[in-house]
Chains A and B, each alone.
Chain A
Amino acid sequence: MAGEPALSVRGLDKAFGGRPVLAGVDLDVERGQTVVVIGRSGGGKSVLLKHLVGLVRPDAGTVRVLGEDVTRYTSAQWTGLRGRVGMVFQGAALFDSLTVGENVAMGLRVRKRLPADEEEALVRDRLAQVGLTEVESLKPASLSGGMKKRVALARAIATDPEVLLYDEPTTGLDPVMADVINRLIRELQSRFGLTSVVVTHDMTSAYFVADRIAYLHQGRIHAQGTPDEIRRSEDPIVRSFVEGRSQGLAGVR
Chain B
Amino acid sequence: MADERRSLLNRALLEDFPGEEIITHGARSGLAWVGRQILRFFEDTGRVGILFTRAVAATLQAGTYRRQIVDQMSAIGVGSMPLVGVVALFTGAVAAVQAAYQLEGVVPLRYLGAVIERSVLIELGPVLTALVVGGRVGASIAAEIGTMRVTEQVDALEILAIDPVRYLVMPRLVAALVMLPVIVVFADAIAIFGGFCVATLSFDQSPHTYGQALKQFFHLKDLTSGLCKSAFFGGLIAMMGCHYGLASEGGAEGVGLATTRAVVASCVLVLVSDYVLANLLFRVTF
Chain A residues engaging chain B, CB cutoff 8 angstroms: 50, 53-55, 75, 78-79, 82-83, 85-87, 89-91, 93-96, 106-107, 110-111, 155, 159
Contacts and interface: CB of A to CB of B under 8 A. Distances in A.
B161 A111 contact: yes
Complex A-B, nearest 8 residue pairs according to Cβ-Cβ distance, in ascending order:
A82-B161, A107-B160, A93-B152, A93-B156, A89-B152, A110-B161, A93-B153, A87-B159
Contacts of B157: 95
A89 B155 contact: yes
B158 interface: yes
B162 interface: yes
A93 B155 contact: yes
Contacts of B159: 53, 55, 82, 85-87
B74 to A, nearest CB: 13
B163 interface: yes
B43 to A, nearest CB: 15
A169 to B, nearest CB: 14
Interface string B140-171: 00000000100111011111111100000000
Given A55-B159, A107-B160, 12 more contacts: A54-B158, A55-B158, A75-B158, A82-B159, A82-B160, A87-B155, A93-B153, A93-B155, A94-B153, A96-B153, A106-B162, A111-B161
B60 to A, nearest CB: 14
Contact of B161 (A83, A93, A96, A155): A83
Nearest to A55: B155
Contacts of B151: 91, 93
The interface centre, meaning the residue of A54, A107, A159 with most chain B CB atoms within 10 A of its CB, is A107
Contacts of A87: 155-156, 159
11 contacts: A50-B155, A75-B163, A82-B160, A82-B161, A83-B160, A85-B159, A87-B159, A89-B156, A93-B155, A95-B157, A106-B162
Contacts of B148: 95
Contacts, number: 53
Contact of A79 (B153, B155, B161): B161
Nearest to B155: A55
Contact of A95 (B153, B158, B161, B163): B153
Contacts of B153: 93-96
B156 A95 contact: yes
A107 B161 contact: yes
Q: Which of B151, B156, B159 has the most CB of A within 10 A?
A: B159
B165 to A, nearest CB: 10
B152 A91 contact: yes
Nearest to B156: A93
B41 to A, nearest CB: 19
A106 B152 CA distance: 15
Contact of B160 (A54, A90, A91, A110): A110
Contacts of B160: 82-83, 106-107, 110, 155, 159
Interface string B56-71: 0000000000000000
B162 A90 contact: no
B151 to A, nearest CB: 6
A91 B151 CA distance: 7
A21 B170 CA distance: 34
A89 B163 CA distance: 18
Contacts of B163: 75
A90 B161 contact: no
A194 to B, nearest CB: 15
Nearest to B71: A97
A45 B152 CA distance: 16
Contacts of B158: 53-55, 75, 78, 82
Contacts of B162: 106-107, 110
Contacts of A50: 155
B51 to A, nearest CB: 13
A110 B162 CA distance: 7
Contacts of A93: 151-153, 155-156
Nearest to A96: B153
Contacts of B156: 87, 89, 93-95, 155
A79 B151 CA distance: 22
B99 to A, nearest CB: 45
A94 to B, nearest CB: 8
